[in-house]
Chain A
Amino acid sequence: EVQLVESGGGLVQPGRSLRLSCTASGFNFGDDAMSWVRQAPGKGLEWVGFIRSKAYGGTTEYAASVKGRFIISRDDSKSIAYLQMNSLKAEDTAVYYCTRDTLDVVVVPDGIGDYTWLDPWGQGTLVTVSS
């Protein structure tokens, strides 16, 4: 069974740091990009960023709201993705989900191509930034 389990959430003061972990099982972790998505209380979903697989350079992309403060990394030997969150703000308070950024070939009405989607998702971990 493909599974993702986040850990590391909790209460943290503004300006401090926190590191989240996402432990994967049931698939070849090193073959896939991994994304982080967050959801503030009562709000919608916001993509935080992702890290590509080593085959695609292992590079990262971030949302503007976290760029320069958050860092995504991965340890393929342990099947773990990390989200290092620095200089935390009250507006970073959210449930943080990790998700596999699946890439596959799909036939669509317009033809055939490589498409990506987020599946599966972990259960999420709550980060509360407050003094």
Chain B
Amino acid sequence: DIQMTQSPSSLSASVGDRVTITCRTSQSISSYLNWYQQKAGKAPKLLISAASNLQSGVPSRFSGSGSGTDFTFTISNLQREDFATYYCQQSYSTPYTFGQGTRLEIK
């Protein structure tokens, strides 16, 4: 199975800040890496597919990059509605695996 190491596990930031979350995989997965946002009590929502492909309707302050084993997810100019938990997920091979999640909190 492909192991996912996502960091940090939690993060405090202020509105207007720029934050970065990283995801490292135990083997190369090319660009088969997706990012999801989950708000409390809600289902996850896809933000970025194939490492850097922003989904339709998702604000451009969200971005993703990386390939191989190292990936980065960035939110620039944080907005209040961005405070949530974020997960990376590999779709290179089954079993699909998720990162442990990053809880983004208001400072």
Contacts and interface: CB of A to CB of B under 8 A. Distances in A.
Interface of B: 1, 30-32, 34, 36, 38, 43-46, 49-53, 55, 67, 87, 89, 91, 94-101
A61 B32 contact: no
B50 A115 contact: yes
A61 B43 contact: no
Categorize the interface residue count of chain A.
20 to 34
A109 B67 contact: yes
B67 A108 contact: yes
A105 to B, nearest CB: 10
A110 B31 contact: yes
A124 B52 contact: no
A63 B99 CA distance: 15
A95 to B, nearest CB: 9
A49 B87 CA distance: 18
A44 interface: yes
Contacts of A113: 30-31
